[in-house]
Amino acid sequence: MTALALAPVDPSVTTMGRNRFILFATDVWVLTKRSIARIRREPETLSDVTIQPVLFVLMFAYVFGGAIGGIGGGDNYHAYLISGMLGMSLAQTAPGTAVAIVSDMETGLIDRFRSLPMSRAAVLTARTIADLLTQVIGAGVVALVGLAIGWRINGTAGQAIEAFALALLFGYAFTWVGVCIGMVLRSPEAAQQTGFILFLPLTFISSAFVPTQSMPGWLQPVAEWNPMSSLAAACRQLFGNPNPAASVHVWPAQHPELAVVCWAVGMLVVFAPLAVHLYSNKVR
Amino acid sequence: MSDTPAIRADGLIKHYGKTTALNGLDLTVPAGTVYGLLGPNGAGKTTAVRVLATLLKPDGGRASVLGHDVVVEASTVRRTIGLTGQYAALDEYLTGRSNLIMIGQLSRLTARAARQRADDLLEQFDLTAAASRAVKTYSGGMRRRLDLAASLIGRPAVLFLDEPTTGLDPSARALMWDIVRQLVADGTTLLLTTQYLDEADVLASRVAVIDGGRVIAEGTPAELKASVGGQRLLITLAAEADAEAAALALTPFTTAPVTAHGAERLIEAPVIASDGLATEVVRALDAAGVKVTEIAVRSASLDDVFLTLTGHKAEDENDQTAQAEATAQEKEAVL
């Protein structure tokens, strides 16, 4: 064994002194590749965005769907359902984000990253980008199952692209919420539980699966202002699907696309800097 | 850089809630040496390493690595340090090689240089055969080696090793010791924390004994041993021998009262080493009619230092337990 450590570092083999943004992008890329490699080794980690949405779509379409009124039943409900499913399957990747962050902290990997001369925001950014890629897969799966059960895109291609873009922006904002949950909790189990507790009401007290008009009066404002309702309404409008929210006279129901953008940008502005702050000042 | 210590800490203080982890810790580690931080569980060793490695901001005091403040110039410090914690900090799902390349690139090596360096380190740490296996299939010793390789990939001038051999079997431990010696021969400064007294004794050129978040003794292992009485005389008496007569006969040679163990067959006493000491002791015992089975003069161990320094503290029950655990683990490791 010779020169394990202190052999002089040849400056040509280091990236020190390069443009800061390029260094940040390189760090993000290196770490995103890491998450993708993990998915390739254990594809079952993708079941959140593959098998699960299929089961939920089929369950809602054929088990609950017949009993859910107010949309006109049958094919109408199938067309109504898919936009809500899109929101649910993207938002619910956030607990997975939290679990991944907690696990990296438990193994000490985050400590190692924090002791390296790398960009501090890169670890978290890479995590959210990897999760955005899984959300793209999730959105594709929901759309395919939807097409199979009779959901159709009745709007223009441009509107359809806008709908998917809004859904992914919305999902991406939620990954940063997941990062923050992961930074403050101590075990993957706790992260999973907390994610579940937060995302269950987020999904179900909304117009994702049933029109808000069917809820008791005191609950309606909660559901109407829920970002999940805005996303579902925006997608329904853009896809040209039944959208009972159009007759609800509150601002987010009348301007669902703008509401989704406001919610997503608002969450990013709050949770992304908070996550980086928590990461930089992690106590243990 | 010659006069700048590799690591310097002045009055470091760190609280976790009501617990005081560091209570005015002072350290000076000269460049190019192995410095041992020795102490029981909960003494503050890991917290000290985390502050010095920029992972934790101290509540009081200041510290620097190669002259750079660990809080104000944290990013400069990160370019010069490597850290190996108590648990292998690796991605379980990546291969050994991918882990090293990833850490190499994040340590600001070019992709090409990172691959080259990863292959060199895998070879040097005897991991080439396992390089393309996922880390989760590795044994404990292999993980530690890969973890250490990962902390060396950016060629750090100062390396922190937090309990590098805790939980390793004896052969894996011996291999880690070899690697540590090699690193120092290459000029790396090493700060090593350990619960194992023999490890500090074998590897470290200077040792700080830590208890309750502060340094309670500091020096070379030889200096520390000398501070608790230099040489020790160990005598095993024959079955029918009279321990009291033996103790009386030994009084002229000893510097402190004689202690007896194991139904008084084994007696132990601190002595001042001199030429022909053993011969004279045997003559004196023979004159007193005491038969001896075995006689030995040995240096005080860091064990003796440790017990002398921390053993008398009645209120530190946790420390005592931790110490007992450490000793038990140490025995397992030696067996």
Helix (H, G, I), strand (E, B) or coil at B161: strand
CA–CA dist A173, A176 (Å, integer): 6
The pLDDT assigned to B2 comes to 54
CB pair distance less than 8 Å for B112 and A13: yes
User: Is B225 a residue whose pLDDT tops 60?
Assistant: yes
Residues 6+ apart with CB under 8 A from A270: none
B263 is in which domain, residue-wise? 229-299
Note whether B53 and B182 are same-domain residues. Answer: yes
Chain A contacts in chain B segment 105-144 (CB below 8 A): 105-110, 112-113, 116, 121, 124, 134
CA–CA dist B89, B83 (Å, integer): 10
CA atoms within 13 Å, Cβ hemisphere of B268? 13
CA–CA dist B281, B274 (Å, integer): 11
Assign B331 a pLDDT band (cuts: 50, 70, 90): very low
Note whether B151 and B246 are same-domain residues. Answer: no
Assign B230 a pLDDT band (cuts: 50, 70, 90): low
Proportion of chain B above pLDDT 70, given as a percent: 88
pLDDT in tens, A178-194: 999 999 988 889 988 88
Instruction: For residue B44, tell me if it sits in a domain.
Output: yes
Q: Which of A15, A23, A116, A119 to mutate to test the interface with B (most CBs of B within 10 A)?
A: A116
More confident residue, B64 or B253: B64
Note whether B174 and B254 are same-domain residues. Answer: no
> Looking at the complex, does the CB of residue A22 fall below 8 Å from at least one CB of chain B?
no
User: Is B330 a residue whose pLDDT tops 70?
Assistant: no
Per the prediction, chain B carries an average pLDDT of 83
CA–CA dist B298, B314 (Å, integer): 29
The pLDDT assigned to A69 comes to 67
Chain A CB contacts of B102 under 8 Å are: 30-31, 33-34
Domain ranges for chain A: 25-36+44-280
CB pair distance less than 8 Å for A4 and B152: yes
Note whether B268 and B198 are same-domain residues. Answer: no
Nearest CB to B183; choose among A4, A23, A118 = A4
Note whether B209 and B263 are same-domain residues. Answer: no
Note whether B159 and B89 are same-domain residues. Answer: yes
Note whether B65 and B129 are same-domain residues. Answer: yes
Instruction: For residue B246, tell me if it sits in a domain.
Output: yes
| Owner of token pair 């985050």 | A110
Chain A contacts in chain B segment 17-46 (CB below 8 A): none
The pLDDT assigned to A9 comes to 58
CB pair distance less than 8 Å for B159 and A5: yes
Note whether B137 and B193 are same-domain residues. Answer: yes
pLDDT in tens, B10-58: 999 999 888 889 999 999 999 989 999 988 778 888 999 999 999 999 9
The pLDDT assigned to B327 comes to 44
The pLDDT assigned to B40 comes to 79
Instruction: For residue B143, tell me if it sits in a domain.
Output: yes
B262: left (phi over 0), alpha (psi -120 to 50) or beta: left
Instruction: For residue B181, tell me if it sits in a domain.
Output: yes
Note whether B163 and B83 are same-domain residues. Answer: yes
- Is the predicted ipTM greater than 0.90, yes or no? no
Q: Least CA distance to B14: which residue of chain A?
A: A283
Assign B122 a pLDDT band (cuts: 50, 70, 90): very high
Mean of the pLDDT values across residues B57-79?
92
CB pair distance less than 8 Å for A15 and B91: no
Instruction: For residue B192, tell me if it sits in a domain.
Output: yes
The pLDDT assigned to B323 comes to 43
Mean of the pLDDT values across residues B216-241?
81
Instruction: For residue B224, tell me if it sits in a domain.
Output: no
The pLDDT assigned to B262 comes to 64
Assign B70 a pLDDT band (cuts: 50, 70, 90): very high
Number of domains forming the structure of chain B = 2
Per the prediction, chain A carries an average pLDDT of 88
CB pairs under 8 A between A and B: 121
Assign A67 a pLDDT band (cuts: 50, 70, 90): confident
Chain B CB contacts of A9 under 8 Å are: 155
Nearest CB to B155; choose among A6, A111, A118 = A6
Nearest CB to A5; choose among B57, B88, B188 = B188
Mean of the pLDDT values across residues A26-47?
89
CATH code (residue B287):
3.30.70.260
Instruction: For residue B331, tell me if it sits in a domain.
Output: no
CB pair distance less than 8 Å for B103 and A114: no
Identify which of A2-6, A118-122, B309-313, B315-319 has the greatest average pLDDT: A118-122
Mean of the pLDDT values across residues A107-127?
90
pLDDT in tens, B286-301: 888 888 888 888 777 7
